[in-house]
Amino acid sequence: MIAANLNSTTQSQLLEGAAVANQIKQEVRAEIERLLAAQKKAPCLAAVQVGDDPASAVYVRNKILACAEVGIRSEHHALPESTTTSELLELVRSLNSRNEVDGILTQLPLPKGVDETVVIDEIDPQKDVDGFHPINVGRLALGRPQLTPCTPAGIIELLDYYQVDIRGMNACVVGRSQIVGRPMAQLLLQRDATVTICHSRTRDLAAETRQADLLIVAIGRAGMIGREHIKPGAVVIDVGMNRLTGPDEVRAMFGSEATKRLEVLAKKGSTLVGDVRPSDAMEVAGRFTPVPGGVGLLTVAMLMKNTLKAARLRREL
């Protein structure tokens, strides 16, 4: 991947995800064009959505649009809220058996009453483009990854693009989910970082995070991380995706930079924010990711890359 030029002494540098995501998608599109030129079929991604959750609908739509952008064939399987675990498993088994389908994703969260663990376990590990199947989790833990969860993999791509040398860094991951926190820690370890994982039971969170040269936050609480948590000059990656609906919340979060966000709030009724207070990060961190415009863009781009990789592995291309 082409790297961005970045002076390591630059303070408060925004690590924007758009350029990185576009680079990834361009690489995927070029590879698919080569496959088609060699008279090979384009990869196919099957996206499964259960219920009518508005956020899930947006995420699935964005993934389908990204498929069209890079040349991946896509299928959208929309199931009603009343779908049972057994009915969803039947669809997953059908997709597993279809040779022309290279990747399967089930948009999370699933409705109450549907067992996510059972559904994820049923997906063919070779088609598990989210990287959540126990076999893919185990391969990652062993340092032999094939299909890696998209958000952590995208963060590594972002750090590489901006020439952040992970080797030897003190890295702290706030959050221990199977989707971001744990796989993120594994990827950092494999890049020779010294890794600390913090979570809701960490006794003195700020004392831990202030030691980090690289702080990755995926806790799911708007503005939880402030200046007291950030080591001066640290690289801060904000994975949080939260919505604020009150003007006072927005002012507290953004300080003197709140005007634009208040305009968004007035227009849309909410504004998207991360787990880190951006006004604090701007003053203390050396580099940090904005929300929106940071990590979120990379998750979809890495899904495209994983789908291409799944196709290559399955077809031995």
Query: Is 126 a known active-site residue?
Result: no
**Which among 102, 124, 130, 280 is annotated as catalytic?**
130
Crossing angle (nearest 10°) for helices 150-161 and 295-315: 110
Type of residue at 163: Q
Query: Is 248 a known active-site residue?
Result: no
**Which among 25, 49, 63, 280 is annotated as catalytic?**
63
Residue pair 242/276 in contact (Cβ under 8 Å)? The answer is: no
73-79: strand order across its sheet: 73-79, 44-50, 103-106
**Which among 25, 49, 102, 107 is annotated as catalytic?**
107
Residue pair 253/303 in contact (Cβ under 8 Å)? The answer is: no
Cα(304)–Cα(47) distance, integer angstroms? 12
Residue found under tokens 């508005």? 54
Cα(109)–Cα(120) distance, integer angstroms? 12
**Alpha-carbon distance values, 307 to 110, 148, 172, 312 (Å):** 21, 11, 29, 9
Query: Is 130 a known active-site residue?
Result: yes
Active site residues per annotation: 63, 107, 130
